[in-house]
Chains A and B, each alone.
Chain A
């Protein structure tokens, strides 16, 4: 029902998430932001079970901030991703596992852009592009076909739009709008909110 997508370019990461907060068959909220800012150059996109998403994401967010306060410098995206995965893994076999699927996108001074795919079983994979949700089945092949490691910002945006158009065309659920963010060496930017015009 929910959808997350991330595309890594040469010196940026483009991420998008749908904006619907659903409750059974009703859309409770149509402008829900599913991205959590871990730091100036790290975003955590989080979908999954109600309650778990916000609680887990805010827990990670506050801990990343605490690390910065204690140590005077921020965790890198790789470190943040591994920290998040460790927490997921620790809770996995407890009585209260977090049923969440995540994408972590960040930009590191030395390593450049990074996109990390994490799922509710605490798997972690660094990937050039990734998606979560039922919509992923429809769009991963498009990403496979058209992705190139040297995508420019505009090309990545077009690829994203292609994916969203496909969702609009074939996905049974109506996802009216998507939040889009781009991370590069200058931080996080909000290019635009994508509103698909209508099914072809």
Chain B
């Protein structure tokens, strides 16, 4: 594995804590709250794999549990905002990771968990969506696309996939936002935040969305602010804030802002 050769010093062990299919959610929070992390530069997970690990603890894979991604619906569509940091233990492996996957011109997927899992399965989803379009001569709905993804990963439940993604798009019923993860969850909603910094982001967006009727500009600022605040508090999130807006014509890449620049900007505004 190319990535493994780059990260020789980091080793990841799939410690089996004897829990069957404990899956994404609890494993994620335990890892980020440091309850089960081993010191130094080893990243340990509360992931259980039902099949035996032939590679054993020598497998070196980078997981993006340390992340903040969020998406929310508002009057003019869906705002998707993500950070761009990848960590392996306490080492920052990259500050420029693309955590938004462009499935097709009107569907976006966010990435949290295993980078390979997310990008592979969402690429496969893109293929399925295209096949649907060819067969039915119409765009696939966000509900159907998210259901395809959920069913695909459900087959592999308990086998160690790690993926927490939000499928965002616009179809004939309006803006669509679904949260899908490798545990089998598929939930429709107006606001989701995923990752170690998600709770910090929830705080900002929940309070910001209380004021009804945001303009596009205000919504973008809210998304950017929420990710910034999460990166401020969460050590495993940072880098840049990538912001997308999904509207009736499809998605647009709104901005990419460095978190440090945002920090200086917000500090200046406070003064």
Q: CB within 8 Å of B: which residues of A?
A: 21, 23-26, 28-29, 32, 49-52, 54-55, 95-96, 99
Is the C-beta of B93 less than 8 angstroms from some C-beta in chain A?
A: no
Complex: chain A residue closest to B183, CB-CB = A50
- Cβ of B184 within 8 Å of any chain A Cβ, yes or no, is yes
B187 within 8 A of A: yes
- Bound-state CA distance A24–B30 (Å) is 10
Within B177-206, the residues touching A (CB, 8 Å) are 179, 181, 183-189, 192, 198-199, 202
Structural contact, B154 and A28, CB atoms closer than 8 A: no
How far does the Cβ of B187 sit from chain A's closest Cβ, in whole Å?
5
- Known contacts: A24-B25, A24-B28, A50-B25. The answer to whether A29 contacts B157 by CB under 8 A is no
Let me know if B29 and A24 touch, CB within 8 A.
yes
A23:B185 contact, CB within 8 angstroms: yes
CB distance from B224 to the nearest CB of A (A): 21
| Interface residue? B26 (CB, 8 A) | yes
Determine if B50 is an interface residue (Cβ-Cβ < 8 Å).
yes
**Interface pair B202/A29, CB less than 8 Å apart:** no
A70 to chain B, nearest CB (A): 24
B185 with A25: CB separation less than 8 A: no
Q: A21-B187, A28-B179 given. 16 additional CB < 8 A pairs?
A: A21-B185, A23-B25, A24-B26, A25-B199, A28-B192, A32-B187, A49-B21, A49-B183, A50-B25, A50-B183, A51-B150, A51-B157, A51-B183, A51-B186, A95-B50, A96-B158
Q: B38-78: which residues lie under 8 A (CB-CB) from chain A?
A: 50
Q: Kindly provide the distance from the CB of A128 to the nearest chain B CB, expressed in whole angstroms.
A: 33
Q: B residues within 8 A CB of A21?
A: 185, 187
Is B23 in the interface zone, CB < 8 Å from A? Answer: yes
The interface residues of chain B, by DSSP majority, are classed as mixed
Query: CB-nearest residue of chain B relative to A32?
Result: B187
**Chain B residues near A96 (CB-CB < 8 A):** 157-158
Q: Which of A25, A28, A49, A50 contacts B189 (CB 8 A)?
A: A28
CA distance A55 to B156 in the complex (A): 13
Contacts of A49 in B (CB 8 A): 21, 183-184
The reply to whether B187 and A29 form a contact with Cβ atoms under 8 Å apart is yes
Closest to B22 in A: A49
A55 to B199, CA, bound (A): 28
Shortest CB–CB separation between residue A77 and chain B, in angstroms? 27
Q: Which residues of A contact B150 (CB under 8 A)?
A: 51
**B151: chain A residues within 8 A (beta carbon):** 55
**8 Å CB contact of A55 from B21, B154, B198:** B154
Ordered nearest first, which 5 A-B pairs have the shortest CB separation? Answer: A51-B184, A50-B185, A24-B25, A50-B183, A24-B29
Digitize B220-231: 1 where CB-to-A-CB distance is under 8 Å, 0 elsewhere: 000000000000
Query: In the complex, what's the smallest C-beta–C-beta distance from B209 to chain A, in angstroms?
Result: 14
On chain A, the residues within 8 Å of B21 by CB distance are 49, 99
> Which residues of A lie under 8 Å from residue B181 when comparing CB positions?
50
